[in-house]
Structure 1
Amino acid sequence: MANDAVFRTSLVWLAAIMLLIGLYTRSFKKMLGTYLFGIFAIAGVLLPDWEFFDRDVSQWCSPLYVDDISSHKSTTPARFRFYPVRLVVYTTVYGFALYKWWMLISN
């Protein structure tokens, strides 16, 4: 990961949200659910190897060589490029996880 400060800031915000959920609901189970949801959300956005996924979806099963990375550099970071398949996968996974987390917290 290129920027550790973003990762640390995300973890601090997660700790604050966990504390608020724990104080509001007075439930260790709900606080733990918030922690798990937050860790998976942070890991899914900040930790993937974006150079690997910055290729056509059909190429994801083939290895990525160093020559491919150096010849494929561009000005826009791969995390901020628009890819429809990645958007659908992220929306589906995070939407379902957010729904399950909200059901856990609201009950």
Structure 2
Amino acid sequence: MKTGKMAEGRLQASLEQSLQYSLIISALAAVLWGYYTWSFKKMVVTYAMGVLCTLVVIIPDWTFFARHPSEWGFPMPSDKQSAIAQKARFHALNHSLKYAQRFNFYPIRFIGFTLSYGYIIYSTWKYMTT
């Protein structure tokens, strides 16, 4: 149990560090693009897009949202024994079909995110280069 918490702590620390690096890279890219184009508006749009993309990718707790929406109101178990104990404690979970699994791949969600981010990045790039 202790090693699970330590691994989770290391994961949280690495996510925090990658968030900080991503925000710094977004700021540097915005300053360089603003200097190159001499446009404050394009600099702000570049920074906002960098922060938005960073927040969407890094911040959410994807394992929490991978569960069925009816289970979002209950705590997420860390292992099999606590999942069994939690199902015994919360009777509403006995009727749910799906329980949380890590690293699920959802093709429809992946295609949706790819298309929407691709369009946003493409339209932003067209704006920035004009």
Task: State how far apart, in whole Å, the 2-side matches of 1:9 and 1:104 are.
Answer: 25
2:31 aligned partner:
19
**Greater Rg, structure 1 or structure 2?**
2
Moved over 3 A (4+): 71-74
Which structure 2 residue ranges, 5 or more long, are not aligned?
A: 1-10, 84-99
How many pairs were matched up?
97
CA RMSD of aligned residues (A): 2.0
- After superposition, give the CA deviation of every residue in 1:32-64 in whole Å (9 maximum; x if it has no partner): 110111111001100112122223xxx23x242
Q: 1:82 aligns with which of 96, 105, 110?
A: 105
In the alignment, residue 101 of structure 1 is paired with which amino acid? Answer: T
Q: Is the 8 A contact 1:51 1:69 kept in 2?
A: no
TM-score (norm 1): 0.78
Please say if residues 66 and 101 of structure 2, whose CA atoms lie closer than 8 Å, have aligned partners that are also in contact: no
Residue matched to 1:41: 53
CA distance change for structure 1 residues 69 and 100 in 2, over 3 Å: closer, same or farther?
Answer: farther
Deviations 1:68-104 (A, max 9, x none): 4333465xxx4xx532122112102211110121011
Q: 1:83 to 1:99 in 2, by over 3 A?
A: same
